[in-house]
């Protein structure tokens, strides 16, 4: 251990990686395309393999099959680069959106990049490096994290939270108590423990997006979570890490969208729908309330439903009993 960082060779030993040469000191974790010589990065999947040769990272966690594609002297060969990254996060700070030395400005003074006609309530908290556009309004108790960009004529509702590095377009409305840019629920198993995989990317809302009260939009692990132009979310919708919701899609209350799902444009999604992680849904699809989507929906313009309509309890339990008996016979 050295002042302000960890020697690459020591880090390799801690992670059980093949020893690294040289005297490089590592001070942070970062994505492959953002890492500098002082940073440790990792290859999360084959999708990012083309970035290896151009990465400036001082060390890269990779499997043996990819080591030759790294810049000489930077490869740290491990069995599972994602798990190794989660372990390294215990010892190194993560360079994620909004990384800065001081999260919030001292003294409550307005940063210089707030437009003169924007309104920021005196009880709101505004971070360093924030940009707030013309005519925008930050309401009581809202928290705007460092390096957030808010466009023109936006409204950030009471007690809403915008995490570091969030980007909002113009005319975006964020409801009371909503949270944008929280760390994703991304975990990897290590023995009997669960370790968190760092979220390196941001959350971005394009022009004319509206979020109801208490919605949650996680930030992405490697690629930004994005709500495209004109998306409307009802109350208490949850959009998982790295998901992409297409333009003019409307989502009713209580729906949950898994991480890295791809929702098409102009979809109508009812209340209480569950969309599994990583699924793709075509444009103009209708999903009725209470449905549970576990497979891709690839045909544009189709309507999909699942679940059982409510019926008298005695009748419902008779149906369940019959289904159970059929399952026992099969």
Q: Does residue 135 lie within any of the structural domains? A: no
Longest dimension (CA), the chain: 73
Return all residues near 314 (Cβ < 8 A) that are at least 6 apart: none
For residues 298 and 5, give the distance between their C-alpha atoms in angstroms, rounded to a whole number.
Answer: 48
Q: Are residues 290 and 186 in the same domain?
A: yes
Q: What angle do CA 143, 148, 152 make, to 5 degrees?
A: 95
- Is the distance from CB of 254 to CB of 236 less than 8 angstroms? yes
Count other C-beta atoms under 10 Å from residue 316's C-beta.
12
Q: Does residue 146 lie within any of the structural domains? A: no
Nearest of 302, 128, 17, 126 to residue 136 by alpha carbon = 126
Q: Does residue 206 lie within any of the structural domains? A: no
pLDDT tens for the chain, 330 residues: list them. Answer: 455 689 898 999 999 998 766 678 999 999 999 999 999 999 998 889 999 999 999 999 999 999 999 988 899 999 999 999 999 999 998 876 644 444 445 444 545 689 999 999 999 999 988 999 999 999 999 999 999 999 999 999 999 999 999 999 999 999 999 999 999 999 999 999 999 999 999 999 999 999 999 999 999 999 999 999 999 999 999 999 999 999 999 999 999 999 999 999 999 999 999 999 999 999 999 999 999 999 999 999 999 999 888 889 999 899 889 888 887 776
Q: Does residue 102 lie within any of the structural domains? A: no
- Is the distance from CB of 226 to CB of 209 less than 8 angstroms? no
Count other C-beta atoms under 10 Å from residue 113's C-beta.
13
CATH number, domain of 236, equals: 2.160.10.10
Q: Does residue 152 lie within any of the structural domains? A: no
Is 241 known to be catalytic? yes
Q: Are residues 290 and 188 in the same domain?
A: yes
- Is the distance from CB of 231 to CB of 209 less than 8 angstroms? yes
Return all residues near 269 (Cβ < 8 A) that are at least 6 apart: 249, 250, 251, 252, 255, 263, 275, 286, 287
Q: Does residue 134 lie within any of the structural domains? A: no
Domain closes at, from 60, 88, 116: 88
Q: Does residue 172 lie within any of the structural domains? A: no
Number of domains present in the structure of the chain: 2
CATH number, domain of 11, equals: 3.40.1390.10
Q: Does residue 218 lie within any of the structural domains? A: yes
For residues 74 and 225, give the distance between their C-alpha atoms in angstroms, rounded to a whole number.
Answer: 30
DSSP 49: G
Domain assignment of residue 266, given as a range: 182-196+211-314
Q: Please tell me which residue in 90, 109, 159, 241 is annotated as part of the active site.
A: 241
Q: What does pTM read for this prediction?
A: 0.88
Q: Are residues 71 and 191 in the same domain?
A: no
- Can you read off the two tokens belonging to residue 46? 């084959």
Return the pLDDT at 22: 66
Q: Are residues 309 and 190 in the same domain?
A: yes
């Amino acid at each position: 251990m050295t002042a302000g960082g960890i020697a690459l060779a020591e880090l390799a030993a801690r992670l059980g990686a093949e020893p690294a040469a040289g005297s490089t000191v590592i001070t942070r974790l970062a994505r492959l395309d953002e890492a500098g010589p002082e940073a440790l990065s990792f290859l999360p999947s084959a999708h990012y393999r083309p970035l290896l040769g151009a990465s400036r990272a001082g060390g890269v966690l990779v499997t043996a099959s990819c080591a030759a594609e790294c810049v000489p002297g930077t490869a740290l060969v491990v069995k599972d680069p994602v798990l190794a990254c989660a372990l390294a996060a215990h010892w190194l700070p993560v360079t994620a959106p909004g990384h800065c030395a001081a999260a919030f400005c001292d003294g409550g003074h307005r940063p210089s990049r707030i437009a003169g006609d924007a309104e920021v309530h005196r009880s709101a908290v505004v971070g360093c490096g924030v940009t707030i556009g013309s005519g925008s309004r930050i309401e009581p108790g809202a928290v705007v994290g460092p390096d957030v960009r808010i466009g023109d004529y936006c409204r950030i509702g009471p007690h809403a939270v915008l995490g570091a590095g969030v980007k909002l377009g113009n005319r975006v409305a964020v409801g009371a108590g909503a949270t944008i840019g929280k760390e994703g629920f991304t975990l990897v198993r290590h023995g009997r423990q669960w370790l968190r995989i760092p979220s390196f990317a941001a959350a971005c809302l394009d022009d004319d997006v509206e979020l109801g009260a208490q919605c949650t939009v996680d930030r992405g692990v490697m690629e930004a979570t994005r709500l495209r132009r004109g998306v409307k979310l009802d109350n208490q919708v949850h959009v998982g890490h790295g998901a992409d919701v297409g333009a003019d899609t409307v989502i009713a209350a209580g729906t949950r969208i898994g991480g890295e799902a791809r929702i098409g444009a102009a979809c109508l999604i009812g209340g209480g729908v569950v969309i599994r992680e990583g699924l793709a849904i075509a444009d103009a699809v209708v999903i009725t309330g209470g449905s549970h989507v576990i497979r891709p929906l690839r045909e544009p313009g189709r309507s999909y439903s699942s679940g059982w309509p409510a019926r008298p309890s005695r009748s419902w339990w008779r149906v369940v009993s019959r289904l159970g008996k059929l399952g026992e016979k099969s």
